[in-house]
Structure 1
Amino acid sequence: MLAFAPAALLFLVFCVSVLLERRKFSNAVVLGLAVLCALGALLYRLVSSESPSVPYVVGALVALGAVALLVLVCFLFLNGVRMLRKEGRSPSNLLSLLAALAILGVVALLATAAAVRTPVLIGLATAAGGLALYFAFLFLCFVCYAFLYGRLRVRRKADFVVVLGSGLIGGSTVPPLLASRLKRGQAVHARLAKRGGSPVLITSGGQGPDEKLPESHAMADHLVAQGFPAELVEREDRSTNTEENLRFSKAIMEKAKPDYRCVVVTNNYHAFRAALTARRVGIRGQVVGAPTAAYFWPNAMLREFTAILVDYRQSNAAMCVIIVLGGVAAWYAS
């Protein structure tokens, strides 16, 4: 049982950290490390058991991993093609395809290095494989914790519900993606109202260069048309991105009630990163997500993950340098 002690300790740290502050990316990493240590302990127990079935079990796990990788590449490729057909050929819609090509490129480099075994290829393969494992680990941590975060209940009362905006169709019409946020915002507002009080719903979004009116105004009109009380809607119409959505909404809330509590509403794929941003700007509240079309979710999660990597660019750059130096060491050692 001693082999499982690191995993148990890391899981305990994770639980305490979530209780203290659930809006931290380090929670995702600690949870991932706990699972990794648990899997390592299981593998150690399996190998040390000296059972005659060990080679077959290990072989089955390797084959399962190879099949899972093939399925993942096919899924990403097909999703990328579907994104291009449904959403257009913008750079952000290419992420699924690029991820599939990157996986194939790393696998091809590793296979070539194993077959040819020249020092340069060994160094390149070591660096590429290390970077791939590092980013794959972080992405799995992100996806799993984002899924978990989206299911943690918001139990406290709140004074405000903030719905984050997105683009408008034709410069004036609320699209389905934004409509789902507003619907979730109404549901959250109704649940909070049952606990007492009359929370104010803040629609947050400024006017883009191709829009006829601010997003917040179109969102408020949509809510009122659905029967939501107009006197309970506040418009934040200056923001151009998520951080500004939260900063400007925070100013409105602090002015109305300095000791406010709030619930922020966005789409489920965006909820965790919005929560990280909310913590950074000092928002007192949690983030909940609205449903998103299944085909849109994989590419959107890759986009969110890329944005988080940029937010933590210094630590990620340091890790990448260490991994590349490991590749250089493998080159010289060959």
Structure 2
Amino acid sequence: MPQYWEYFAAVVFAAGGVANVVLAPHRFSSAVLFCLAVASAGLGVAVRSAAAHPVFAAVLAVAALLLALMLGLVLLADGVLLVRRYGPQAALLATGAAGCAVLAVLGLDAVFFAAGGEVLGVFVVVVNAAAGYLIALFLAFTGYVFIWGRSEPLPQTTHVVVLGAGLDGERPGPLLTRRLERALEVDAARAPGTPGVVFVVSGGQGEDEVRSEADAMADYLRGRGVPAERIVREDRSVNTGQNLHQIAVYRYTPEGGSLSLIIRHGNWGCGTPDSDGAPFETVGKETYLPMDQAAYVTVTDPVVASTENQPIGVQELLDWLEAHPDSGLVFRYHLGADGAIDRLEQVFTP
């Protein structure tokens, strides 16, 4: 092992980060590699300084503990405030849980400092290593967002997609408002004499929301002077993942002894002011997606005479597909542990 292995690791991580930036500047892995490079170099400095300057090492350790304590308290307070404002959503609860975890690690360190013990010492080292890595990821993500969030938008930008982030009553919440303001900055930075940016606002109506996020965002943008013809709404998805798990279903096949749907993946495109909504644009070739015979299925028009999703059996869906092949109806889907569709919900399109 090299004598200065920490610095060697820092060079390797930094080289990987530079290569990532050259190949794909916006990769989050670049931020992680640079963060690990800084952490490795910092570890080398700390280890060698501790032997020569014990007082400096003690001050550094106290500073690290205070930083971890502050991070834990901030995450916990932020989680409590967000849950009180927007309700007990999983992502918000995770913020508070992360703060509690940081404080629990510090408490474990305090117990070990007071009680000692070889077995507890090994456990403390493992827990602190894992916590240190997760904190490094958090800091890398924070730095990544800070740097790229302040980068200059391209002057030739024609469309900006704004993803939903929760409402405060009927208006966008603080996070969503910041996203909208950033989108307006992109529009303001366009080259002189070029058409205004088209805003694609994406967000459906959650169970605890009085309206769709897309409608609230559209009203906010209109209030800031954006003409209605430059706003395209996508109000069918209630989370970002649903935008990534949508398919057009054409036929089915029982070949191989199991049921499979013949589908094409796709995403919602950008509609025009005179259209009923954004079109679903498929990509790639037709492919097969296995489906559980007991899957939960809901459909709307034209499978049933309703614009609201109605539950039906899998066989009813297959009968309809057989009578209406290549219809290309759009569905959101979820895969079970076996890789087969266990939930299929049609997206109503006018």
TM-score range, shorter chain: 0.5 to 0.7
| Cα separation, 2, equivalents of 1:78 and 1:168 | 20
Alignment match, 1:18: 21
| Cα separation, 2, equivalents of 1:143 and 1:166 | 18
Is 2:53 aligned against 1:36? no
| Cα separation, 2, equivalents of 1:111 and 1:151 | 39
CA contact (8 A) 2:153 2:186 kept: no
Alignment match, 2:269: 252
Alignment match, 1:204: 202
CA contact (8 A) 1:164 1:245 kept: no
Alignment match, 2:231: 233
Using the size of structure 2 for normalisation, the TM-score is 0.58
Structure 2 letter corresponding to 1:161: V
> What displacement does 1:245 show?
4.6
Alignment match, 2:258: none
The equivalences for 1:121-160 within 5 A come to: 121-155=120-154, 157-160=156-159
> What displacement does 1:182 show?
2.7
> What displacement does 1:232 show?
1.7
Higher relative contact order (CA 8 A, sep 6+): 1
SS for the counterpart of 1:194 is coil
Ranges in structure 1 where 5+ consecutive residues have no aligned partner: 259-334
| Cα separation, 2, equivalents of 1:12 and 1:188 | 32
Is 2:71 aligned against 1:68? no
SS for the counterpart of 1:202 is strand
Partner of residue 188 from structure 1, selected from 168, 186, 189: 186
Using the size of structure 1 for normalisation, the TM-score is 0.60
Structure 1 letter corresponding to 2:20: S
> What displacement does 1:252 show?
0.9
Which protein has the bigger strand share?
Answer: 2
> What displacement does 1:90 show?
5.4
CA contact (8 A) 1:10 1:33 kept: yes
SS for the counterpart of 2:187 is helix
Alignment match, 1:224: 222
* Deviation per residue, 1:276-322 (Å, 9 max, x gap): xxxxxxxxxxxxxxxxxxxxxxxxxxxxxxxxxxxxxxxxxxxxxxx
> What displacement does 1:202 show?
1.3
The equivalences for 1:1-334 within 5 A come to: 4=7, 6-43=9-46, 46=49, 54-80=53-79, 82-83=81-82, 86-87=85-86, 92-95=91-94, 97-113=96-112, 115-118=114-117, 120-155=119-154, 157-170=156-169, 172-192=170-190, 194=192, 196-211=194-209, 213-245=211-243, 251-253=268-270
SS for the counterpart of 1:23 is coil
Aligned length: 251
SS for the counterpart of 2:269 is helix
CA contact (8 A) 1:22 1:149 kept: no
Structure 2 letter corresponding to 1:241: N
> What displacement does 1:30 show?
0.6
| Cα separation, 1, equivalents of 2:15 and 2:226 | 44
* Deviation per residue, 1:23-66 (Å, 9 max, x gap): 32321221112102322343466468x5xxx2222222223223
CA contact (8 A) 2:162 2:180 kept: yes
Question: Bigger radius of gyration, 1 or 2?
Answer: 2
| Cα separation, 2, equivalents of 1:251 and 1:83 | 30
Ranges in structure 2 where 5+ consecutive residues have no aligned partner: 247-265, 272-277, 282-350
| Cα distance change on mapping 1:136 and 1:16 into 2, 3 Å | same
Which protein has the bigger helix share?
Answer: 1
Structure 2 letter corresponding to 1:17: N
| Cα distance change on mapping 1:196 and 1:241 into 2, 3 Å | same
